A and B are shown apart, each in its own frame.
With several copies, the nearest count.
Chain A
Amino acid sequence: AARQAEFDRLIAQDQRIEPRDWMPEGYRKTLIRQIAQHAHSEIIGMQPEGNWITRAPSLRRKAILIAKVQDEAGHGLYLYSAAETLGVDREDLLDQLHTGRQKYSSIFNYPTLSWADMGAIGWLVDGAAIMNQVPLCRCSYGPYGRAMVRVCKEESFHQRQGFEILHTLSHGSPAQHEMAQDAVNRFWWPSLMMFGPPDESSAHTVQSAAWGIKRFSNDELRQRFVDMCVDQARILGLRLPDPDLTWNEQRQHYDFGPIDWSELNRVIRGDGPCNADRMARRVGAHTDGAWVREAASAYAAKHADRSVVAA
């Protein structure tokens, strides 16, 4: 009870909970679930962009894209590390991903069908991710908050790169412009879904807010995102594919059309365009690499033995 009181005090004062601090089991579980899902999203998220590395249309763009996907692997790594401070290990979390017991962001179940998708993912998907993640930098759990600071910094760099890809395409040849518009058409609605279900049907929001994990509601963040994108789309010279998008003087926000939540639910359920391919690639890489990881362990064990013998 004293420990609970101390925890509550830290949360109330907006101070950080650290790994060695006591925490309620629900808090720990919520964090593990959220951080793991976030980590999984980073590594599955490497695939849609990885799909265009070998075809990047200039060496400069190729270098930027490889570096970006590499950053995502890095984000995955430090998010798994943050989760490990809560007493789980990466191997278990990966196992939960591979067996479908933990999820990753549904946005990565859409295919990348043209180079412009590299732009749309940077601009819209990373843009939405940042919108979601910036508040997490102040998350009550220290290691997660600090990981998010680094992640957000790199993500906002990625978002600018995505914007620049689209800008170049939009102002390039007619075929390039069309490619850019098509990518935005395909990624706009899925990006809006990245903020999760509407507030009235979001299960975790209230408790997470009380624990200082979540600081804004899904709908608040979604609105902020829409407002930002409308302005940027104008600069890009691209249309957002929503006829209902209009400025609401009273709300001082853009109104937007209804979201097809049945689509999101279908994709979450596993029937998105790429769910099966994403999992096949991930599980395949893990399975094919087992002998390599085993070799590394065996070598390390032998090596450790020898040092012991020598000592």
Chain B
Amino acid sequence: ADALARYVIGLGDDALVLSHRLAEWITRAPQLEEDMALANISLDLLGQARTLLTYAGQVQGQGRSEDDLAYLRSEREFTNVQLVEIPNGDFAVTIARQLIFSAYQFELYSALAGAPDATLAALAAKAVKEVDYHRDHAAQWTLRLGDGTELSHARMQAALEATWPYVEELFDPAEIADDLLALPGIAVDPGTLRGGWSDYLRPVLAQATLTEPQPIRRSRGGRRGLHTEHLGHLLADMQSLHRAHPGVRW
């Protein structure tokens, strides 16, 4: 049960933290349609996070709610991958991060949809449709920015370079070795997702006249609670009000 809760929390934290980052765009987007689209993706991810954290709390069996898990854990207890916590940067960085992540999440949820864990399978089957839209939205913008103006091309390429160091963490089975061992058939080996991910991304990048960066073995360890220095500040803001009033209802 501990292993399952841990695995589910990692997936929930991915969704929660990226939802938060996208919500930071609201009122700051390049056009009104994007305020809406980013809010929409943020909401989808928040919904996924709520389902996952609620489920993790049930699996743990200690009466912890989605809010207990979201608001009362420290930075070292969050187990999202580092990719989702990096700052929004310019719009191109946000799009690059989304493209990488949604394409990964699409493969992951597709695999989970056939998993023997009924709750996870049901969530994944529903969420994969949302994620398909997220992935497409990011791909469309990758095309526009990559094949738009000279400036947008340069920024989109720079955004890929800036986000690529966080790619390896997504697909390294060593990062969740314990889960893979403890949850055979349930936890998805992330190494198996890479093919599908590449198959989706490569034509998008090519059509967008962008160059795929070299793989980089940058830092990793988000699944073990090792993060960039950015996550702590995100959580400080996110948890501030909840922590200031312990134990009340909202």
Contact = CB atoms under 8 A, between A and B. Distances in A.
Interface of A: 43, 46-48, 50-51, 53-63, 66-67, 69-70, 73-74, 76-77, 80, 111-115, 168-169, 172-173, 175-176, 179, 182, 266, 271-274, 276-277, 281-282, 284-285, 288-300, 302
Interface residues of B, number: 65
A271 B218 contact: yes
Given A296-B144, A298-B148, 18 more contacts: A47-B27, A50-B26, A55-B237, A55-B240, A57-B242, A66-B26, A114-B76, A169-B250, A175-B245, A266-B217, A272-B219, A276-B162, A281-B27, A285-B28, A291-B155, A292-B145, A294-B152, A296-B148
Contacts of A274: 219, 228-229
Nearest to A63: B46
B43 interface: yes
Interface string B132-144: 0000000000011
A273 to B, nearest CB: 3
A300 to B, nearest CB: 8
Given A63-B46, A289-B31, A273 B152 contact: no
A59 B148 CA distance: 37
Contacts of B34: 289, 292
Interface string B215-245: 0111101000111110010001110111001
Contacts of A290: 30
Contacts of A46: 26-27, 35
Nearest to A69: B26
What secondary structure prevails in chain A residues at the interface with B? Answer: helix
Given A113-B226, A115-B241, A76 B149 contact: no
Nearest to A294: B149
26 contacts: A43-B32, A46-B26, A51-B232, A54-B20, A55-B232, A56-B241, A58-B242, A61-B250, A63-B46, A66-B43, A70-B40, A70-B43, A80-B32, A111-B227, A113-B225, A113-B227, A169-B250, A172-B250, A176-B245, A272-B219, A277-B228, A291-B151, A293-B31, A295-B152, A298-B149, A298-B152
Nearest to B25: A285
B181 interface: no
Nearest to A169: B250
B67 interface: yes
Contacts of B145: 292, 295
A166 to B, nearest CB: 12
Interface string B12-30: 0000100010011011111
Nearest to B24: A54
Contact of B91 (A77, A273, A289, A300): A289
B36 interface: yes
Contacts of B221: 273
B74 interface: yes
B33 A289 contact: no
A57 B49 CA distance: 15
The 6 closest A-B pairs by CB, nearest first: A289-B30, A295-B148, A295-B152, A273-B219, A292-B30, A70-B39
B47 interface: yes
